[in-house]
């Protein structure tokens, strides 16, 4: 189902600001693909050279915590003292122990382009989207045991570049971005943990979708790599243009996104900074 969207953004670009500019910092924030909120409220991201970085919540400093030497795609915390990081170059997911800062390869060989991880605490597993290849659709979504790293292909459906994901609040489904299909899919999770057939949630999106995040109201937000905009799926299925940067400056090819209350953080693969967007209703919308 495709939906027409309003050309006028819900929020003005003045609601977005550069939260942390890492162009000339040490370490340098080099084209971040991912962003996540850490257990203490700090902002974590990864770089194109494999760094896993922590930015203080107030934006005052950046620190390298570890490095894979690869290219960090999506990251996720498990709530038990670990961070999982997808690595494009090494075709695996790494697990970082936050207390010791020990970094280990977590997944066995098999996955081709591990793009985005989602932790399912209730089932004790990690879902990881496999983008497979540029211009080469393929399966799918992998699932790994959180304790052992053992696992394999969970959803064998063929996707046209599987990308960002989000777990439904009630744990009954995974939402998945299919970037070059320009759509969002819902994949049911059965009581036995098996995947159901995917169902389109939104299609013919006005841009190339990349990252997903749910707000407190349960609405899906979609970062578009091109053009530089963020969409929002309303409860009735409408697709709204939430915010857009026509200059690709404050928002520049946003990829992964993450909420901290009403503040939405976006990684900008096209630049050297993380953006913060005030989405709260207490700010007048344009």
Q: Label each residue of the chain as H, E or C.
A: CECCCCCCCCCCHHHEEEEEECCCCCCCCCCCCCEEECCCCCEEEECCCCEEEEECCCCCCEEEEEECCCCEEEEEECCCCEEEEEECCCCEEEEEECCCCCEEECCCECECCEEEEEEECCCCEEEEEECCCCCCCECCEEEEECCCCCEEEEECCCECCEEEEEECCCCCEEEEEEHHHCEEEEEEECCCCCECCCEEEEECCCCEEEEEEECCCCCEEEEEEECCEEEEECCCCCEEEEEECCCCCCCCCEEEEEEECCEEEEEECCCCEEEEEECCCCCCCC
- pLDDT above 80: residue 2: no
Tokens 């977590």 appear where? 106
Check residue 276 and give its pLDDT: 98
- pLDDT above 90: residue 55: yes
- pLDDT above 90: residue 170: yes
Which tokens go with 56?
A: 């203080």
Check residue 5 and give its pLDDT: 56
Please state, in angstroms and rounded to a whole number, the distance separating the CA atoms of residues 77 and 19: 21
Check residue 97 and give its pLDDT: 98
pLDDT tens digits for 71-128? 999 999 999 999 999 999 999 999 999 999 999 999 999 999 999 999 999 999 999 9
Give percent of the chain with pLDDT exceeding 70: 96
Residue 282 pLDDT class (50, 70, 90 cuts): low
- pLDDT above 80: residue 235: no
Q: Which of 204, 194, 235, 241 is nearest to 222 (CA)?
A: 241
Check residue 19 and give its pLDDT: 98
Residue 285 pLDDT class (50, 70, 90 cuts): very low
If you average pLDDT over residues 144-159, what whole number do you get? 97
Domains of the chain, each with CATH number or no CATH: 13-278 (2.120.10.30)
Check residue 286 and give its pLDDT: 34
Bridge pairing between strands 103-105 and 92-97: antiparallel
Residue 234 pLDDT class (50, 70, 90 cuts): confident
Check residue 8 and give its pLDDT: 87
- pLDDT above 50: residue 283: no
Residues belonging to the chain: 286
- pLDDT above 80: residue 158: yes
Longest Cα–Cα distance of the chain, Å, equals: 50
- pLDDT above 80: residue 3: no
pLDDT tens digits for 236-275? 778 999 999 999 999 999 999 999 999 999 999 999 999 9
If you average pLDDT over residues 141-150, what whole number do you get? 96
Mean pLDDT of the chain: 94
Residue 225 pLDDT class (50, 70, 90 cuts): very high
Q: Which of 65, 37, 87 is nearest to 267 (CA)?
A: 37
- pLDDT above 90: residue 186: yes
If you average pLDDT over residues 136-148, what whole number do you get? 96
Q: Left, alpha or beta for 279 (phi > 0: left; psi -120 to 50: alpha)?
A: alpha
């Amino acid at each position: 189902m495709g939906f027409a969207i309003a050309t006028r953004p819900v929020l003005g670009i003045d609601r977005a600001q550069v939260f942390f500019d890492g162009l000339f910092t040490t370490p340098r924030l080099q084209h971040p693909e991912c962003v996540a909120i850490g257990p203490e409220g700090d902002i974590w991201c990864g770089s194109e050279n494999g760094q896993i970085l922590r930015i203080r919540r107030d934006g005052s400093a950046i620190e390298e915590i570890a490095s894979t030497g690869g290219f960090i795609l999506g990251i996720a915390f498990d709530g038990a003292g670990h961070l999982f990081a997808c690595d494009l170059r090494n075709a695996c997911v790494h697990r970082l122990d936050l207390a010791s800062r020990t970094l280990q390869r977590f997944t066995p060989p098999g996955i081709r382009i591990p793009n985005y991880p989602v932790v399912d605490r209730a089932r004790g597993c990690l879902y990881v989207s496999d983008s497979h290849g540029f211009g080469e659709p393929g399966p799918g979504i992998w699932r790994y045991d959180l304790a052992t790293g053992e696992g394999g292909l969970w959803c064998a459906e063929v996707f046209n570049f599987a990308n960002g994901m989000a777990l439904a609040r009630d744990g009954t489904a995974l939402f998945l971005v299919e970037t070059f299909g320009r759509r969002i899919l819902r994949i049911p999770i059965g009581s036995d943990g098996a995947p159901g057939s995917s169902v389109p949630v939104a299609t013919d999106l006005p841009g190339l979708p990349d990252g997903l995040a749910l707000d407190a109201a349960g609405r899906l937000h979609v970062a578009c790599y091109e053009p530089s905009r963020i969409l929002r799926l309303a409860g009735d299925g409408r697709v709204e243009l939430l915010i857009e940067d026509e200059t690709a400056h404050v928002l520049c090819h946003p990829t992964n996104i993450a909420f901290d209350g009403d503040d939405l953080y976006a990684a900008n693969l096209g630049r050297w900074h993380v953006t913060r967007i005030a989405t709260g209703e207490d700010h007048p919308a344009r």
